A and B are shown apart, each in its own frame.
Chain A
Amino acid sequence: MKESTLSVLVEDKAGVLARVSSLLARRGFNIHSLAVGPTSEPHLSRMTIVVEAPELEQVKKQLNKLVNVVKITELDQVQTVEQEVMLIRVASGGGKRTEILELAQIFDATPVDVSPSSIMFSITGPPRKVNDFLDLVRPHGIVELVKSGRVALARDAKNRRAKAV
């Protein structure tokens, strides 16, 4: 099913995350990832929600009915900057360390913890890049990993127009 990214500006009130996630669950929309954090406005938070839903219009309309939801923007892949952080611990025993570190360098993944048998990397970037790195290190053996969930913002409107020309 198609994935869509919604940028949802919400009032920073108790329970607002529960309201959003419970609504999506109740209406049968699948949450792929959900990241939430403060914005530059003190009373507002931004949620970046990646959903799988056949009817995105319905998702947006239902979310809009929540009193604490202020604004919803649907972000299309092209006009959006999307970033994700992944921490991943890769098995590095058996003389594979150099090979793994070379791979990491190509991807700008930073080693943040090293032990005799494994290395933990931090990698930031568009989901595509993060996933590619993941695929490449997978054969070496993944001990543990965590992803932040996607955060995204629309590109500047002016640039958008310039691009279209």
Chain B
Amino acid sequence: MTMTGAQVLIKALEFEGVDVVFGVPGGAILPAYDPIHDSPIRHVLARHEQGAGHMAQGYAWATGRVGVCIATSGPGATNLVTPLADCLMDSVPMVAITGQVATTAIGNDAFQEAYTTGITMAATKHNYLVTDVADIANTVHEAFHIAATGRPGPVLIDVPKDVLNAEVEWADPVSLEMPGYKPTTDPHPRRLKEAVRRIEAAERPVLYVGGGIIKAEAAEALTAFAEVSNVPVVTTLMGRGAIPDSHPLTLGMSGMHGTYTATTAIQKSDLLIAVGVRFDDRVTGDPEYFAPGAEVIHADIDPAEIGKVRAAEIPIVGDARKVLEGFLAAWDDRGTPDRTDWIETIRRWQRDKPLAYDQTPDGPIKPQYVIEEIHRLTKGDAILVAGVGQHQMWASQFWKFEEPRRWLNSGGLGTMGFAVPAAVGAKAGMPDELVFAVDGDGCFQMTFQELITASVENIPVKIAVFNNGVHGMVRQWQRLFYDERFSGSELGTSDIDYVKLAEAMGCAGLRAATADEVAPAIEKALAVDDRPVVIEFVVDPDEMVWPMVPAGGSNDIVLTGPEDL
């Protein structure tokens, strides 16, 4: 049957099993919007392409499937750059489709022309400019394959308008030969054996795991291996939920705002078993002082991560789940090593330096208290989304993560404004789950317009806005390192009426200004199920995120509170 390129494009998305796309139409992409009208694919109309991108990203994180966003040429495409870069940093599988001016106009500064493939070259895992209508279906197929396999990431397909309008016969996409793309997923058996031997013999081993565990669906294998080898587990920010927080071997997050115990356990370890992590600077501090006494086993799907920051004594290229299952198989009948001394030392740190905050009944609301109350009242049964800033760190510290894919945030790029659209995308993908976002007031003011999308499209998310009136994280650094000169970090919006703002966007609006109002506000929010809800929590602007390792410092020096300064 003869179809237009646009029809082929949408049919190719259906062929890949896409059920929802997030986008904003415009001139160059208009042909593709016409067949969307008849397609079973749901189109969620974002209010800004950045929102569409983060929605696709949130969808991908929560569901484990490839998220899809659509934008027009020029400004539509440039608005997608931030979510693309975000997905690249955090290895999130996303396919972005952008319209382009007609092939005959490319290069002439045509209306709404931007060099999209050039602009996004360093913000995607791969990108395409499709110049022949006959290539559309296969390109979509290839893009989904690249996005989802190996180290997942964003792929962009730029389609000129005349290619969308051209006609072609539909043919089911075939798997194309990609001679340059063959990710290694199977770890080398000899390396696994060698690794296991060292793990058994180590005195102070630590499993240091991250987002790779979540992407590879390796959480069960991780917990099983940690148990049989009796090795404590430290997670990165992206790896929260890789092992249940209730598990006795879990030490929480390490690094700049990690727990004292997690950071210190790595520093004192003699063997780091790093799986699905990339030794990010927020984790390592100054790499020269990072885990100075440890040998390193580093397993990752991306060979370029191994040895990039820290040399590995045992490098293992492979899928995290296959690596951990390989460890388990190689462990065989070794029995569980006695590591009483090491575990006792860790327990002492946990007792001496727990995460702490002080909520007084009459004092200002402590943000940590809000997070604990949301956790208590939802029984932790929610997908938690965060923005970027202090509130993000408190969320990762004070929420108890029990499962993978239930913690969404922008880790590598640190994109303010992530939370609202990512929550909308997650809820669109997982409509039966409670999706709760914890957002800073600064972040919220970057993308809250996507709550209009949420109410128009009936995607009832819950957004807790932490109104501290400031860019809290910036202010924290200014307090510590810039002599309390709060330049450019006061929002001036402490008195903004978030309840009215919420209602104006078709959401329910709630407010808690004192500690005793926190729980009732959350309960009320949980009772609403026909609209998105915004709850404003007026929180203490002077609260600081502890512990802290100052940027570029040694992880041997963990500041656990102002008394350590």
Q: Is the CB of A67 within 8 A of B304?
A: no
Q: Chain B nearest CB: distance from A88 CB in Å?
A: 34
Which residues of A have CB within 8 Å of B146? Answer: 67
Within 8 A of B (CB), among A1-33: 10-11, 14-15, 18-19, 22-23, 26
**Residue A163, interface by CB 8 Å:** no
A70/B180 contact (C-beta < 8 A), A14-B129, A58-B308 known = yes
Which residues of A have CB within 8 Å of B303? Answer: 61, 64
Q: How far is B183's CA from A66's CA once the two chains are assembled, in angstroms?
A: 11
- Point out the residue from A14, A58, A66 that lies within 8 Å of B180, measured CB to CB: A66
Q: How far is B304's CA from A120's CA once the two chains are assembled, in angstroms?
A: 46
A67/B118 contact (C-beta < 8 A), A57-B307, A58-B304, A61-B304 known = no
**Residue A39, interface by CB 8 Å:** no
**Residue B514, interface by CB 8 Å:** no
Which B residue sits closest to A14, measured CB to CB? B129
Which residues of B have CB within 8 Å of A15? Answer: 117-118, 121, 129
Q: Chain A nearest CB: distance from B212 CB in Å?
A: 15
Q: Is the CB of B121 within 8 A of A68?
A: no
Q: Chain A nearest CB: distance from B4 CB in Å?
A: 23
Within 8 A of A (CB), among B281-320: 302-304, 307-308
Q: Is the CB of B117 within 8 A of A70?
A: no
Which residues of B have CB within 8 Å of A22? Answer: 121-122
**Residue B181, interface by CB 8 Å:** yes
**Residue B107, interface by CB 8 Å:** no
Q: Chain B nearest CB: distance from A25 CB in Å?
A: 9
Q: How far is B126's CA from A69's CA once the two chains are assembled, in angstroms?
A: 12
B interface residue count range (under 10 / 10 to 19 / 20 to 34 / 35 or more)? 10 to 19
Within 8 A of A (CB), among B251-308: 302-304, 307-308
Q: Chain B nearest CB: distance from A12 CB in Å?
A: 11
Q: Chain A nearest CB: distance from B336 CB in Å?
A: 36
The interface bits of chain B over 126-141 (1 if a CB of A lies within 8 angstroms of the residue's CB, else 0) are: 1001010000000000
Which residues of A have CB within 8 Å of B178? Answer: 67
**Residue A73, interface by CB 8 Å:** no
Which A residue sits closest to B127, measured CB to CB? A15
Which residues of A have CB within 8 Å of B307? Answer: 57-58
Which B residue sits closest to A23, measured CB to CB? B122
Which A residue sits closest to B304, measured CB to CB? A61
Q: Is the CB of A67 within 8 A of B180?
A: yes
Q: Is the CB of B304 within 8 A of A68?
A: no
Which A residue sits closest to B302, measured CB to CB? A65
**Residue A62, interface by CB 8 Å:** yes
B117, B180, B303, B307: residue with the most chain A Cβ atoms closer than 10 Å: B180
Which residues of A have CB within 8 Å of B131? Answer: 14
A18/B118 contact (C-beta < 8 A), A61-B304, A65-B302 known = yes
Which residues of B have CB within 8 Å of A26? Answer: 122
Q: How far is B131's CA from A14's CA once the two chains are assembled, in angstroms?
A: 10
Q: How far is B129's CA from A14's CA once the two chains are assembled, in angstroms?
A: 9
- Point out the residue from A11, A14, A18, A64 that lies within 8 Å of B304, measured CB to CB: A64
Q: Is the CB of A11 within 8 A of B121?
A: no
Q: Is the CB of B180 within 8 A of A68?
A: yes
A19/B304 contact (C-beta < 8 A), A67-B126, A70-B179 known = no
Q: Is the CB of B180 within 8 A of A10?
A: yes
Which residues of B have CB within 8 Å of A11? Answer: 179-180
Q: Is the CB of A65 within 8 A of B304?
A: yes
The interface bits of chain B over 186-220 (1 if a CB of A lies within 8 angstroms of the residue's CB, else 0) are: 00000000000000000000000000000000000
Q: How far is B131's CA from A18's CA once the two chains are assembled, in angstroms?
A: 18
Q: How far is B178's CA from A70's CA once the two chains are assembled, in angstroms?
A: 9
Q: How far is B21's CA from A15's CA once the two chains are assembled, in angstroms?
A: 28
Q: Is the CB of B180 within 8 A of A19?
A: no
Which B residue sits closest to A11, measured CB to CB? B180
The interface bits of chain B over 172-186 (1 if a CB of A lies within 8 angstroms of the residue's CB, else 0) are: 000000111100000
Q: How far is B178's CA from A68's CA once the two chains are assembled, in angstroms?
A: 8
Which residues of B have CB within 8 Å of A10? Answer: 180
Which residues of B have CB within 8 Å of A70? Answer: 179-180
The interface bits of chain A over 41-72 (1 if a CB of B lies within 8 angstroms of the residue's CB, else 0) are: 00000000000000001100110111111100
Within 8 A of A (CB), among B133-158: 146
Q: Chain B nearest CB: distance from A30 CB in Å?
A: 17
Q: Chain B nearest CB: distance from A153 CB in Å?
A: 19
Which residues of B have CB within 8 Å of A65? Answer: 302, 304
A19/B181 contact (C-beta < 8 A), A61-B304, A67-B126 known = no
Q: How far is B182's CA from A65's CA once the two chains are assembled, in angstroms?
A: 10
Q: Chain A nearest CB: distance from B394 CB in Å?
A: 34
* 15 A–B contacts from the bound complex (CB under 8 Å): A11-B179, A15-B117, A15-B121, A22-B122, A58-B307, A61-B304, A64-B303, A65-B304, A67-B125, A67-B178, A67-B180, A67-B181, A68-B180, A69-B180, A70-B180
Known: A15-B121, A64-B304, A67-B146. 17 other contacts (CB 8 A): A10-B180, A15-B117, A18-B121, A22-B121, A22-B122, A57-B307, A58-B304, A58-B308, A62-B304, A64-B303, A66-B126, A67-B125, A67-B178, A67-B180, A67-B181, A68-B180, A69-B180
**Which 5 A/B pairs are nearest by Cβ-Cβ distance?**
A61-B304, A70-B180, A67-B126, A70-B179, A67-B181
